Amino acid sequence: MDGNGRWAASRNLPRLEGHRRGAERIFDVIDECITLGIPTLTIFAFSVENWKRPVEEVSGLFKLGEFVLRANLARILKRKVKLKIIGNLEEMPDFVKEPLKDALIKSKDNDVLTLVVALNYGARQEVALATRKIAEEVAAGKLKPDQINWAELEKHLETAGLPDPDLIIRTSGEARLSNFLLLQAAYAEIVITETYWPDFTKEEFQKSLAVFAKRERRFGMTGAQVQPAKTL
């Protein structure tokens, strides 16, 4: 959700106002995913590196997160959205952790949209943790080293059971992955838009989807293999 800070700065507003406006946009995108039948949406709410921000911004983001969740839980449940968190929730303050755990329980049987919130998440940390779990299984004799392959590693990632992302949208012109789903994104299409996240309306989302729809996804194959046979 990049560009909240710059959106605010360009209006002489505090950065947190940009985050507050940015949080509202999440619900536009959720609604559009439901309308279009997109089954999984992941939002990057807070990275492990975001702890390095000024303490006032970090605590302001957590307070905002708590407020947004409490204010919108009924809306989320009504739309049959299932919440999932990836990242280290235990390190979050109790006032964020508790409503999130409540929302996880209340939404667990929902099946219209899975909303994955990456919170205190970092892909490198996720892979290190998965590797540690695999090493423990090998040490305990439950797994042989030659059984370790991508399918096995994938089972130990926090995203186990979730589909790989098809599309990653980077707002505000940023052109990097910033420790987000690095392995799962191996074949994701990346769409970069100059729009700041607080301006990322349903229409902007549709524009990014239209760019995605024009991409030829080859997954290592040739164009001829993935194109339907042309009639003469």
Based on the residue annotation, tell me whether 2 is a catalytic residue of this protein.
yes
The distance of closest approach from Cβ of residue 77 to ligand FPP in the complex, given in angstroms and rounded to an integer, is 18
Cα–Cα dist 70/66, whole Å: 6
Cα–Cα dist 110/99, whole Å: 17
What does the H/E/C string look like for 33-56?
HHHHCCCEEEEEEEEHHHHHCCHH
The distance of closest approach from Cβ of residue 141 to ligand FPP in the complex, given in angstroms and rounded to an integer, is 40
**Closest residue to ligand FPP: CB criterion:** 65
Q: For residue 64, state whether it binds ligand FPP (rule: CB under 6 A).
A: yes
Q: Is the dihedral of CA 94, 72, 1, 131 positive or negative?
A: positive
Cα–Cα dist 95/226, whole Å: 49
CA atoms within 13 A on the CB side of 195: 18
- Considering beta carbons, is residue 48 or 162 the nearer one to ligand FPP? 48
Q: For residue 62, state whether it binds ligand FPP (rule: CB under 6 A).
A: yes
Q: For residue 22, state whether it binds ligand FPP (rule: CB under 6 A).
A: yes
Based on the residue annotation, tell me whether 88 is a catalytic residue of this protein.
no
Q: For residue 88, state whether it binds ligand FPP (rule: CB under 6 A).
A: no
Q: Point out the residues that are catalytic.
A: 2, 50
Residue ranges in contact with ligand FPP by CB under 6 A: 1-6, 19, 22-23, 45-46, 50, 61-62, 64-65, 96, 119, 172
